[in-house]
Chain A
């Protein structure tokens, strides 16, 4: 029985990016927070319409950079000063200028690794399956269609009113998203 099945929300298709942006802005204004947009290409202004401004990515990358900085410098300090001191051309053991290139490289490397892994982690990836995959038309999000998914977790979510709201925002079609079994 379809009606008794728990729902994961509603998926709406929009005809163009302007309609999608307008819908996202309107939903946000009405207090919806748990919704996502899916487009075949980056749409300028969409993130702003969703008021999606702040992410934790910069913090993750900064932590990675600081880790690389400390580890890179620390490794060189430990090897040349503590573990295996060598007199090279009469220079002091702790010759910081020569530590800079490697420290810099490791800082960039770990920052980049944290950026990639952090992006995957914060997006909840890798994820082999997703409730939206139950909807056949959703595969067009990769080619020529613009979708908006209002999640059922949203406190504002109510199947009837949300559906009407999406219709009113010129959604071309609205699907029930079946919850994962």
Chain B
């Protein structure tokens, strides 16, 4: 008994997503065979982008279970559906096992000259793969917990509960996400490290996920066309998530700039050569100044359509940031990396969105709080799901 008026809005997604995903996957397969050096940096970037949307959804769903609050109920459905995509993200990560010799200093058979002794130990392949497996197992357990709690809330017409477990889950989630960032993204520059890097990218994941959830809420037709307080709350939360990312990103730059040590500053110097020189100023504008200024205004953040526009800008900014963090580490990366990166972005995005859509529909069947006998006016209001 799916609600046809609600599902029809987004129904045309599914098949195009699957087709785009499969076509993109074919291009990716060709790229991996013909030009692995150009291809894998693009694939890693695209993978981390979509991983961020899924993982960020899990993180915010846990956060909301801990804190409660009306802002979260209006996006809990896309967030939980996003968290439920973690198994498919695991599948999409598997091709990266082939990429290790290309992407990482520790992945090849040759001498690990650029790694020190501790790094050699940390990046021993069995340990590396074991950690990756652990991350996905734990994330899946957390995602299972979040989705079970959501369904229980739906069935019994209650909101919240399970805050204690969510708090524990959030700590574990944050630690593992940080380590995943160290393992998979920070390691593209062997020898460089920044302790805030994990927090920065985990926050970036949250920005991606929340922006995505806002867009889904807008297109699912549950948001009012008039300005409303709930949409404004979401806008304020998006502003807060993004500001925290800006804070982490600027702190890292500020500390490294202040110390100006060769072991650290090479990361930024490498990323300000050639065309990359335009990336950091672009990020300052599209990841900070413009969304910050727009989200200050009630005229923007209380309108679902305008807020969705800002969210789309932030998603684009996330992609620029991840590209800038990952691709400049590779000297061989060139114009074809952009082509393969785009193909991978479409492939992974198509497949991910296809699965997201399936999970989202599945949640819809449970969704209608008006049907719940115990739902009073207020709880029905707070159960507004997308």
Q: Which chain A residues have a beta carbon within 8 Å of chain B's beta carbons?
A: 58, 62, 89, 97-98, 100-101
Contact = CB atoms under 8 A, between A and B. Distances in A.
Residue among B253, B258, B297 with the highest chain A CB neighbour number at 10 A: B258
B232 to A, nearest CB: 12
B258 A97 contact: yes
**A interface secondary structure, majority:** helix
B258 A100 contact: no
Nearest to B256: A97
B250 A98 contact: no
Contacts of A100: 250, 254
Interface in B243-285: 250, 253-254, 257-258, 260
Residue among A58, A62, A97, A101 with the highest chain B CB neighbour number at 10 A: A97
Given A100-B250, A101-B254, 5 more contacts: A58-B298, A62-B296, A97-B254, A97-B257, A97-B258
Contacts, number: 13
A33 B231 CA distance: 28
B253 A97 contact: yes
**B interface secondary structure, majority:** helix
Interface residues of B, number: 9
B298 to A, nearest CB: 7
A98 B258 contact: yes
A170 to B, nearest CB: 22
Contacts of A101: 254
A89 B259 CA distance: 10
A58 B298 CA distance: 9
Contacts of B258: 97-98
10 contacts: A58-B298, A62-B296, A89-B260, A97-B253, A97-B257, A98-B254, A98-B258, A100-B250, A100-B254, A101-B254
B240 to A, nearest CB: 14
Contacts of B254: 97-98, 100-101
A100 B298 CA distance: 26
Nearest to B297: A58
A62 to B, nearest CB: 8
Interface in B280-297: 296-297
A89 B260 CA distance: 10
A60 to B, nearest CB: 14
A98 B298 CA distance: 32
A17 to B, nearest CB: 14
A180 B253 CA distance: 61
A86 B75 CA distance: 52
Contacts of A58: 297-298
A51 B124 CA distance: 65
A46 B250 CA distance: 42
Contacts of B296: 62
A155 B297 CA distance: 33
Interface string B30-54: 0000000000000000000000000
A19 B169 CA distance: 46
A62 B253 CA distance: 27
Contacts of A89: 260
Nearest to B227: A53
A103 B325 CA distance: 27
Contacts of A98: 254, 258
